[in-house]
């Protein structure tokens, strides 16, 4: 029984640290207040960079939508970076007032596509906006980004939200993203730390971004690499909660597994690479932002953390009850279970508390299993380009 209690205690400590982390930032996110937009002094010239790999189904509509911004047409260019597109798609894009840059690589990556595009573009841009090939900006997105750069910042993350909620997987993906928006963007900004970036719906000082990207080698998780570079240099990443970019959510369990496997592999890679440098930066330079990001990468995925706490907690509480093992450890498990549920519940927007949420909750066990399977198969995923197919009829 003593060995069982020691195991329980170690599990409670390990899981408790992860739960405490997300609970702290979930509560902090409730106090997030976005600063009023600064008065614009000028319109900045922007390059809206849209890299796409075999995205023939969505890219034309996305490019057309990007041209509809409520921002002076002379002050932004839509740059489509076409990797392995069909000739018919290229022909359609050539009929639009966009800059079309065709690329081809033996091994395609988003960072290669962005670097190839910026090598061909002139340097007369102030801001680089990065989208995914399925992203649709709200009409005044660029205007809000322009106002944000009145502040002394090098990067800002917009609020990426679901474009489609047409099946349980899409709903689950949308809820997951909003939880992350609350914890890793609103919660972090509330306590003075940087917002996490996502890989799209983000903007940077153009020359800074171009120079930084030249040294990026990531196959998967390029956004993690540039995020770490910025925080290591002491820059703060801002967040615009009211600047919306609509993003297609996953459509199947296969897409869910592939996407999560890619994310988990990138996080584990960068945790191993940056934990010790981040710890040194904290100790000798007081760089809490950089250290927090390294710690963030080792956090269990929220769905796995929920599964582990509820499953292990239930088993241990039952075992303690039937073996008359006292109530101390059982109470600790109950507090942990309540805390993880509370952290996630606080992070879900009120508008999402509806019938679709209940359906998504019903699908959680399968999602938990797929996430665990993804975690166990991350080896090599960070060295392989894993493409997620997007759909024109997602709605």
DSSP collapsed to 3 states, 111-155? HHHHHHHHHHCCCCCCEEEECCCCCEECCCHHHHHHHHCCCCCCE
Quote the domain boundaries for residue 137: 46-269
Q: Is residue 166 part of a domain?
A: yes
Q: Are residues 22 and 54 in the same domain?
A: no
Which pLDDT score is estimated for 366?
66
Domain limit, last residue, from 269, 285, 318 = 269
- Domain count across the chain: 2
Per-residue pLDDT of the chain (395 residues), as tens digits, is: 789 999 999 999 999 999 999 999 999 999 999 887 777 789 999 999 999 998 999 999 999 999 999 999 999 999 999 999 999 999 999 999 999 999 988 888 889 999 999 999 987 999 999 999 999 999 999 999 999 999 889 999 999 999 888 787 788 888 989 999 999 999 999 999 999 999 899 999 999 999 999 988 766 678 888 999 999 999 999 999 999 999 988 666 566 666 666 667 777 778 888 899 999 999 999 999 999 999 998 888 888 888 889 999 999 999 999 988 879 999 999 999 999 999 999 999 998 888 877 777 777 676 666 666 665 565 554 455 555 555 555 54
Q: Is residue 10 part of a domain?
A: yes
Q: Report yes or no: 299 and 184 within 8 Å, Cβ to Cβ.
A: no
Q: Are residues 307 and 359 in the same domain?
A: yes
Q: Are residues 304 and 207 in the same domain?
A: no
Q: Is residue 283 part of a domain?
A: no
Q: Are residues 64 and 10 in the same domain?
A: no
Q: Are residues 164 and 261 in the same domain?
A: yes
Name the burial class of residue 158, with classes exposed (0-12), middle (13-18) and buried (19+) by CB atoms within 10 angstroms of its CB.
Answer: buried
Domain limit, last residue, from 269, 284, 317 = 269
CATH number of the domain at 255, please: 3.90.550.10
Q: Are residues 8 and 132 in the same domain?
A: no
Q: Is residue 35 part of a domain?
A: no
Which pLDDT score is estimated for 36?
79
Which pLDDT score is estimated for 98?
96
Q: CB atoms < 10 A from the CB of 136, how many?
A: 20
Q: Are residues 330 and 227 in the same domain?
A: no
Q: Are residues 317 and 219 in the same domain?
A: no
Which pLDDT score is estimated for 35?
81
Q: Are residues 24 and 52 in the same domain?
A: no
Q: Is residue 391 part of a domain?
A: no
Q: Report yes or no: 214 and 134 within 8 Å, Cβ to Cβ.
A: no
Q: Are residues 120 and 212 in the same domain?
A: yes
Which pLDDT score is estimated for 284?
95
Question: d(Cα 205, Cα 127) in Å, to the nearest integer?
Answer: 5
Which pLDDT score is estimated for 123?
73
Q: Are residues 178 and 248 in the same domain?
A: yes
Q: Is residue 102 part of a domain?
A: yes
Q: Is residue 289 part of a domain?
A: no
Which pLDDT score is estimated for 393?
52
- Model's pTM, two decimal places? 0.89
Q: Report yes or no: 34 and 242 within 8 Å, Cβ to Cβ.
A: yes
Which pLDDT score is estimated for 395?
47
Q: Are residues 101 and 220 in the same domain?
A: yes
Q: Is residue 103 part of a domain?
A: yes
């Amino acid at each position: 029984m003593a060995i069982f209690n020691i195991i329980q205690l170690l599990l409670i400590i390990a899981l408790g640290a992860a739960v405490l982390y997300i609970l702290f930032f979930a509560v902090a996110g409730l106090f997030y207040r976005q600063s009023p937009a600064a008065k614009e002094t000028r319109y900045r010239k922007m390059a809206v960079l849209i890299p796409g790999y075999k995205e023939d189904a969505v890219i034309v509509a996305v490019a057309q939508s990007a041209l509809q911004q409520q921002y002076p047409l002379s002050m932004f260019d839509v740059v489509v970076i076409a990797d392995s597109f069909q000739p018919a798609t290229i022909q359609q894009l050539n009929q639009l007032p966009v800059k079309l840059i065709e690329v081809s690589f033996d091994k395609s990556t988003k960072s290669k596509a962005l670097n190839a595009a910026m090598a061909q573009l002139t340097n007369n841009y102030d801001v680089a906006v990065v989208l995914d090939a399925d992203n649709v900006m709200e009409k005044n997105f660029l205007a809000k980004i322009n106002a944000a750069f009145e502040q002394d910042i090098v990067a800002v993350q917009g609020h990426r939200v679901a474009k489609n909620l047409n099946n349980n997987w899409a709903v689950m993906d949308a809820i997951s993203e909003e939880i992350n928006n609350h914890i890793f963007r609103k919660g972090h900004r509330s306590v003075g730390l940087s917002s996490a970036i996502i890989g799209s719906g983000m903007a940077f000082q153009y020359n800074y971004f171009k120079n930084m990207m030249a040294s990026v080698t990531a196959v998967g998780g390029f956004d993690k690499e540039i995020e770490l570079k910025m925080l290591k240099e002491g820059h703060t990443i801002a967040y615009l909660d009211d600047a919306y970019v609509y993003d297609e959510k996953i459509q199947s369990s296969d897409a869910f597994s592939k996407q999560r496997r890619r994310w988990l592999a990138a996080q584990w890679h960068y945790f191993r690479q940056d934990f010790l440098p981040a710890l040194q930066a904290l100790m000798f330079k007081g760089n809490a932002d950089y250290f927090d990001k390294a710690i963030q990468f080792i956090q269990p995925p929220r769905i796995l953390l929920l599964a582990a706490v509820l499953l292990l907690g239930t088993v241990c509480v039952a075992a303690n009850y039937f073996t008359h093992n006292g109530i101390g450890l059982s109470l600790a498990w109950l507090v942990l279970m309540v805390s993880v549920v509370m952290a996630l519940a606080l992070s879900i927007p009120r508008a999402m508390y509806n019938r679709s949420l209940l359906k998504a909750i019903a699908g959680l066990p399968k999602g938990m299993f797929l996430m665990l399977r993804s975690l166990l198969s991350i080896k090599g995923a960070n060295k392989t380009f894993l493409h997620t197919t997007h759909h024109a009829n997602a709605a």
